[in-house]
Copies of this chain bind each other. A is one copy, B any other.
Amino acid sequence: MAFEKMIRNAFEESRNNCRFGDTLEEISEIQDYIRTSQKICIPNKNGIKVEVLNQVLSEYGLPSAEILHINTNTADTSRIPALAKAYMALDQSDADLIIARGRLGIPGSGSLLIFIDNKGRILTCGTSPSHLIHQKSIEEAVYSEACEALEKIGFERVVGP
């Protein structure tokens, strides 16, 4: 079932007060989309995040991503900077899956790693507090956000970290 049909069905359920949470079919549809992505892009100025994200993708048996060199500084004027970065990448590439990381909301709100499809729809996410709270390196934070995002939609690790 394509996302379009799934979204239409879910809204019909909500509208009729008979939506009782996500279904296994919906979750496996998201998994299939990610598994079969032909081109995965990560908007980034440098390659640090991409290296870590590709490590995580390979640990979960998923195709690897490529860097999309774009300057995303202006994303920080947006209400959800991470999502703004993802949309920039979507609009400037032919990727069918974008993984972007940026601030969740206002300064101080920590970070959000988000997966969107080729229409800009949100598939999953992982979050971290600000560095000052978690004290992790950027690599560790990106690593755990990516694992969180994949495990949230039922992916399991196929090789150890």
Asked if A132 and B76 sit within 8 Å, CB to CB, the answer is no
Please report the C-alpha to C-alpha distance between residue A131 and residue B23 in the assembled complex, in whole angstroms: 9
Give the contact-size bracket for chain A.
35 or more
Copies of this protein in the complex? 2
The verdict on A133 contacting chain B, using a C-beta distance below 8 Å, is yes
Please report the C-alpha to C-alpha distance between residue A14 and residue B14 in the assembled complex, in whole angstroms: 40
Interface residues of A in 66-99 (CB under 8 A from B): 73-74, 76-77, 79-80
Closest to A27 in B: B108
Chain B positions within 8 Å of A14 at CB level:
73-74, 76
The verdict on A104 contacting chain B, using a C-beta distance below 8 Å, is yes
Give the interface of A toward B (CB within 8 A): 3, 6-7, 9-11, 14-15, 17, 19, 21-24, 26-27, 29-30, 73-74, 76-77, 79-80, 103-110, 116-117, 120-125, 127-133, 151-154
Q: A10-B107, A109-B123, A109-B124 are in contact. List 7 more A-B contacts (CB 8 A).
A: A11-B76, A14-B73, A22-B103, A27-B133, A106-B122, A129-B153, A130-B153
